[in-house]
Structure 1
Amino acid sequence: MVETSARLLRLLSLLQARTDWTGAELADRLRVGLRTVRRDVERLRELGYPVDATPGVAGGYRLGVGAALPPLLLDDEEAVAVAISLRTAATGSVAGLEEVAVRALAKLQQLLPARLRHRVEALRAATVPLPGEAAPEVSADLLAAIAAACRDRRRLRLRYRGRDGVTAREVEPDRLVHTPRRWYLRAWDVAKDDWRTFRVDRIEEPLGPPGARFTPRTPPGEDAAAHVAHAITSAPYRYQARVLFHAPLEAVAPRTSPAAGRLAAVDARTCLFTAGSNSLRELAVHVAVKGFDFEVLDPPELVPVLREVGDRLGRAAAASDRGSGLSREPDDPRR
C-alpha cells in the first residue's frame, strides 16, 4: 500500500509538472507497465482528481480542471522559490495581497522539511529591506479582472484618472506589464482609435461588467514591455531627448533601466538613448552621470543646459581644489 500511495503521489507530481503525457512516458518515469498507469489514473479519479485521457496512438493524459484545487507537489527548488516569492508578496504593491501571502507562507513553512526551512530562514535573516518611496498600490481583484479580460478578449469600460481628470474609456485590453513600482495596461482605445498605455493604479473601481468580445488587433511592432517602456519614458513629457552614447550597448545597458529610457544599438561602438522629461536639467544630469562620452541629437535646447551644468560642476571642482572654505561654517558678522 505504501508503494502504491507513493507512486500515486509521484504520478500526480508528473501530471502537475507538464500539460500532456503519453502513457508510455508516464510508465517509463514510474518504472511500471501501461496497465499499472491506467489503474493509477483511475485511482486518482476516484480520489477526486480530474485526469483527462485522449485515446489513440497520439493520445495521453493531462490533469484537468476540477471543483477544488488539488494539493501541489513541489520539489526542493520550487518550494524555496515559492516561499521567497510569498515573503516578497507580503510587502508588495498589490493591495490586499499581504495578508493572503502571509497565511500561505505560514502554511508552507509548517510543511517545509528542516533542510529547506533553514534555507528560507537564512535568506530572511540576511535580508534587510531599504524603505523608499512607496509604490502605488493596486487591487488584486482589479488586476485579476483586467487579466481575465485580456485572456477572454472582452472589452472593458474604465473610469481613468488622467491629466484631464476622470474620463470614461472603452478599451480592448491586450497585456499587463509590471515595472518594479507600477502596473500598466496596454490596450486599444476605441474612441481614440489607437493604442494607449494606462496606469492600473489610476483605474477606478469597480470595473464595469465585461463587454463584447473583440477580434485581437495587430499590436505595435515592438513587444508589450518595449511599447510600455516607450510610453512611460517619452510620450507624457514636454521634452523628448535622443542621445548618442559613444559606448557599446552592452556597456551602457547596466547603467539604465527600461523605466528611465530606451536603448538601441547603432553599431558595435555606439548606442542611442531615448528618454523624456519635463526638465532639461534633469535630462542633462541623467545622461551625464552614466559615465560615457555622448552627443545630443535632440532637442537642441539641451545643449546650452549641458554647458551650464558643466560650468557649474567645473566651478565647484575648482573651488574645492583651492580649499575656498565652501564646506566651513560662514563667517559670523559679529566677529
Structure 2
Amino acid sequence: MNDTPARLLTLLSLLQTPREWPGSELAERLGVSTRTIRRDIDRLRELGYPVEASLGAEGGYRLVAGAAMPPLLLDDEEAVAIAVGLRAGAGHAIEGVEEASVRALAKLEQVLPARLRHRVSALQSATVALTRGDGASIDPRTLTVMAGAVAGQERLRFAYRAGDGAESRRRVEPYRLVSTGRRWYLVAYDLDREDWRTFRVDRVTQPFLTGVRFTARELPMGDAVAFVRKGLQGGSVYRAEVVFAAAPEAVPDWLGTPEPDAASGGCRVRFETADAPEWVAARLALTGLEFTVREPAALVRSAAVLGAALTRAAGAAV
C-alpha cells in the first residue's frame, strides 16, 4: 500500500482492535516492510495516538489509553450502535445525558454515510423505549440541529407550539441546550421579541440552520442552568430535604450528594428544584428506597398523597 495517508488510517483501524499486533503481521496485511511499519507507528505517535511497543523478536504493537482522547475509527456496526444509543438517550431526555452527548451525536451523524443514516433511522423507528416519568419524547434530529447551531454560533429558525397551543415561527440566536433529566430546553435570544427566551425542545418542529453567524450575547445571570431554573414554574425554586434509610452510594446522583444523618442512622440529601412537588414525590418513589421528606411542606403533602394513593391501589388489587 503506497498511499501513506490511506495506509496510516488502515494501520490505526487495526491497532484499535484490543489485541497486540506483531510487526510482521501488520507488514503483511499492509503489504509493506516492517521498517515502514515502524515509521508509520512513529507518525501515529506524533499525531497523539499512544502506541506501545513490546520487546522481542516480533516487536508487537498495541494502542493504549493516553492523556487525551484521539480521533477514533469506527466500522459500520460500531457507528450504528453508538448513533442508536445516543439517539435513544437524547430522544427521551434520560437522566445523565447532557449537552456533551448531544454534541457527540451531532458530530457522528454529520459524517455518517447515507446508508448508515438509513440503518440508524430504521432501527430507531422500529423500537420503543420504556422510560420513567412523563418526560416528553423528542426527535433526536431536532437536538442535533440545535447542538450544531449552538456550537457554530449560527442563527436558527423553527416552528414552536406554546403551552396554550399557540403556534409561531421563531428566529433565534441559540445559546445553550439544558437537560433537566425530565426535559430538554433551549436557551436562546429571540430576535423578533428582542429578549432572552427558554424553549421546550419537545415543542419545537422544523428546525432550520440559516447559515447566518452571530457573536454570542451576554446571558442574564450568566448561567443557562440558572436561567432555565428561574423560568420553570414562574421562577418558583424551592429547597428540599429528604432522608433515606439507605447507604449514601444507593442514592441516585440526580438528587445531589448524600450526607450522614445521625438522627435517622441513614443519609440525607438537600437539593433545589423548580419541578412540581407531585413530580418530585413520584421520582423519589421510583428510587425504590425508603425515604422521609423533611421539607418543604408542599413536598411532604405530595408524598403523603402519593403514598395513600399507592396504598389504596395495592389494596384494591389484593
TM-score (norm 2): 0.49
Identify the structure with bigger relative contact order (alpha carbons < 8 Å, sequence gap 6+): 2
- Higher Rg of the two aligned structures: 1
